[in-house]
Amino acid sequence: MFGLSIEKLVIVMVVAAFILGPERIPEYTRRLAELVRAVRQTLDTARTRAETEMGVSAADWEALDPRRYDPRRIVREALAGESAGVAEGATTVTAEPEERPDVADPERAETAEPDGAEPMESAAPAPPPRYVITGSSGHPRRVLVQPDPE
């Protein structure tokens, strides 16, 4: 408070006791107590008046306190909601299929067999992995979205 530590406050009180003397200390202590009570009463009156005029209680203000928001909890809840759909403000990215250097045509890549091998049954290709980009533009973060089992 004002750069004063407990030690400095004790020194100020001792100096004030010497300057005021033992006769005037009780009177000034009483005045200080009255001043503190008046300030508290003024603050309480102002608080109740503001609450009634604005229609917002102290509990409502506490609910809006930004210090209550934990970024880790917010991200965890947003990622948990990903199973229902992509969260607002997030971008979905689908990874590009890997190209095989030995096959020039990606469409032919699935049906290409080595020389002399029998043709393999074509299975449905696995969908490419999906990512959700979260975070800020300065620090983007890719989060893998697990595919729904069908």
Q: Tens digits of per-residue pLDDT, 45-91? A: 998 898 888 887 777 877 777 777 878 888 888 888 765 555 455 55
For 22-26, 30-34, 79-83, 128-132, which range has the lowest pLDDT when averaged over its residues?
79-83
| Alpha helical stretches, state H, the chain | 6-54, 58-63, 71-80, 106-109
What gap in Å lies between CA 124 and CA 4, rounded to an integer? 74
Could you tell me if residue 1 is inside a domain?
A: no
> Does the predicted TM-score (pTM) go above 0.75?
no
| pLDDT over 50 at 30, yes or no | yes
> How many separate domains does the chain show?
2
Residues 26 and 87 in one domain: no
What percent of the chain has a predicted confidence (pLDDT) above 70? 69
Host domain of residue 142: 69-98+126-150
Could you tell me if residue 116 is inside a domain?
A: no
Could you tell me if residue 85 is inside a domain?
A: yes
| pLDDT over 80 at 21, yes or no | yes
| Backbone phi, psi, residue 96, to 5° | -75, 145
| pLDDT over 90 at 22, yes or no | no
Residues 46 and 24 in one domain: yes
Residues 41 and 85 in one domain: no
Residues 20 and 91 in one domain: no
